[in-house]
Amino acid sequence: MNLENIKKIDPLVADEIQKEFERQQNTIELIASENITSKAVLEACGSVLTNKYAEGKPYSRFYNGCEHVDIIEEVAQERACKLFNMEHANVQPHSGAQANMAVFMYLLKPGDKVLGMDLSSGGHLSHGSPVNFSGMYFDVKSYGVDDFGCIDYENVRQMALEHKPKLIVCGASNYSKIIDFKKFREIADEVGAYLLADIAHIAGLVAAGVHPSPAGYAQFVTTTTHKSLRGPRGGIIMCDMEHARGIDKAVFPGMQGGPLEHIIAGKAVALLEASKPEFKTYAEQILKNAKALAQGLMDEGMEIIGGMTENHLMTLDLRKTSRTGKEMANVLESVGITANKNTVPNDPQTPFVTSGIRLGVPAVTTRGFKEDDMVEVAKIIASAVYSADNKSGLKNLRERSLKLCKKYPLYKG
């Protein structure tokens, strides 16, 4: 990495950036919400566009000198609409949570009823958690999953009929099955609710056509750009044209000020990359790698919530071991695998401890890992669970993970 200018001004920050690069280079990244952007995306995000303030929308700004960022943002909007088959896109939200906030702000008044997925069952904070704005200011009822880790659509329907929400939220932060957007829309129509599909995790899979799309079913679609879509950290809102003006006003001036035009440029680049045939090949490999990891773990005696995954992630259920999610996340990090602790359905542990580990494969797939590599990763994880107290055994596992990392450099050339 070229950090010469930072080294001259701020050696401390330069040193930590270099160390972070080395950490990523020498770590098997299995955090499902992380990925590795292209060099082109990195260049866009680190460009002179960071200097530009541009409140408003393209060609309708509150600042002069926006002629170039106008074109870039407009292109990003057009690419998002084309890629996801939606009528309107706002690419300004700084995150997926803020994208969801804008939809809530546009559609709802404080106290309005919302039906969203429970956080402990795989939903997101912004789908109605009581510690988040969505749960603080709105009357949220939460649906979960059954004993097999699957959404019970009839239960969702019965809850919708009982509570008559104005908005139903589908999509998840930790759900390993295909989401039936058509069924959700049927439920929403039955009770007169709007449907918001949060596809933050599966956006890359949807874009590549390897997961069903919410287009045509959800009036509102939100996503992050930094997970399976492999772009910069940020959010996008897409909607039917009749809601475009209201959504745009909810983003600015309703929710945030000036957009991050350098990040929007990164989004534009990533959206173009996601439209290429090689991205479809990448998404297909994600599914292959996820299945190989899940099967490899089960072959080693591990339990996966819901069994075989249908997308990019899975949850390792530790309840029948003597380990907790918090403990194993730290043990895995010590052997060169980064993952995050996660709750499981009906978790006996607190959210700060948990009985599960969430695992995702977009980042390692970007690096070039294939199915055989994922089997080796599964063996390392299982061995770490079984021998978490064996320091010499853990050292051997670290050597095995490092060997895989050296096989697939973070950036080639």
29 is catalytic: no
Distance of CA 318 to the CA centre of its chain: 23
Specify whether 252 is located in the same domain as 308: no
Q: Of 254, 274, 294, which marks where a domain is finished?
A: 274
55 is catalytic: yes
222 is catalytic: no
Specify whether 238 is located in the same domain as 364: no
For residues 145 and 174, is the Cβ–Cβ distance under 8 A? no
Choice among 227, 230, 267, 367 that is catalytic:
227
Specify whether 299 is located in the same domain as 192: no
For residues 93 and 99, is the Cβ–Cβ distance under 8 A? yes
Query: Is the torsion defined by CA of 66, 49, 235, 294 positive or negative?
Result: positive
- Judge whether 413 lies within some domain: no
- Judge whether 345 lies within some domain: yes
Higher-pLDDT residue of 408, 345: 408
Specify whether 217 is located in the same domain as 266: yes
* Residue 17 backbone phi and psi in degrees, to 5: -65, -45
Task: Cite the DSSP H helix spans in 276-361.
Answer: 277-299, 325-334
pLDDT bracket for residue 249 (50, 70, 90): very high
pLDDT at 176: 96
Specify whether 251 is located in the same domain as 395: no
Average pLDDT, integer, range 298-307: 95
- Judge whether 88 lies within some domain: yes
pLDDT bracket for residue 121 (50, 70, 90): confident
* Residue 120 backbone phi and psi in degrees, to 5: -70, -15
What is the average pLDDT value for the chain, to the nearest integer? 96
pLDDT bracket for residue 105 (50, 70, 90): very high
Q: What's the rounded Cα separation, in Å, for the pair 32 and 208?
A: 18
Higher-pLDDT residue of 147, 69: 69
Is pLDDT above 90 for 148?
A: no
Q: Report helix, strand and coil shares of the chain as percent, to nearest 5.
A: 50, 15, 40
Is residue 115 classed as helix, strand or coil in its secondary structure? strand
Specify whether 228 is located in the same domain as 291: no
- Judge whether 216 lies within some domain: yes
162 is catalytic: no
**DSSP code at position 372:** H
Q: What's the rounded Cα separation, in Å, for the pair 31 and 337?
A: 9
**DSSP code at position 397:** H
Choice among 198, 310, 317, 373 that is catalytic:
198
Average pLDDT, integer, range 111-118: 96
Is pLDDT above 70 for 274?
A: yes
Choice among 233, 267, 323, 358 that is catalytic:
233
User: Residues 308-323: pLDDT tens digits?
Assistant: 999 999 999 999 998 9
Is pLDDT above 70 for 173?
A: yes
% of the chain at pLDDT higher than 90: 92
Q: What's the rounded Cα separation, in Å, for the pair 76 and 307?
A: 38
Specify whether 358 is located in the same domain as 253: no
Specify whether 195 is located in the same domain as 291: no
Sequence letter at residue 181: F
Q: Which of 367, 360, 363 is nearest to 404 (CA)?
A: 367
- Judge whether 378 lies within some domain: yes
179: domain range?
42-274
Specify whether 246 is located in the same domain as 120: yes
10-14, 146-150, 199-203, 382-386: which range is least confident on average? 146-150
Is pLDDT above 70 for 170?
A: yes
In terms of Cβ atoms closer than 10 Å to its own Cβ (0-12, 13-18, 19+), residue 413 is exposed
Is pLDDT above 80 for 258?
A: yes
For residues 312 and 32, is the Cβ–Cβ distance under 8 A? yes
Average pLDDT, integer, range 187-201: 98
pTM (predicted TM-score): 0.95
10 is catalytic: no
- Judge whether 355 lies within some domain: yes
- Judge whether 25 lies within some domain: no
pLDDT bracket for residue 355 (50, 70, 90): very high
Residues 6+ apart with CB under 8 A from 130: 136, 140
53 is catalytic: yes
pLDDT bracket for residue 403 (50, 70, 90): very high
Specify whether 171 is located in the same domain as 316: no
Q: Of 219, 248, 274, which marks where a domain is finished?
A: 274
- Give the CATH number, domain containing residue 289: 3.90.1150.10
Is pLDDT above 70 for 207?
A: yes
Q: Of 224, 255, 274, which marks where a domain is finished?
A: 274
- Give the CATH number, domain containing residue 219: 3.40.640.10
Is pLDDT above 70 for 201?
A: yes
- Judge whether 15 lies within some domain: no
Specify whether 252 is located in the same domain as 348: no
User: Residues 16-64: pLDDT tens digits?
Assistant: 999 999 999 999 999 999 999 999 999 999 999 999 999 999 999 999 9
Q: What's the rounded Cα separation, in Å, for the pair 141 and 178?
A: 22
Choice among 7, 34, 55, 326 that is catalytic:
55
pLDDT at 1: 74
Choice among 224, 309, 354, 366 that is catalytic:
224
Number of domains in the chain: 2
Specify whether 137 is located in the same domain as 209: yes
Average pLDDT, integer, range 163-167: 98
pLDDT at 413: 59
Give the position of tokens 């542990």: 349
Q: What's the rounded Cα separation, in Å, for the pair 310 and 180?
A: 12
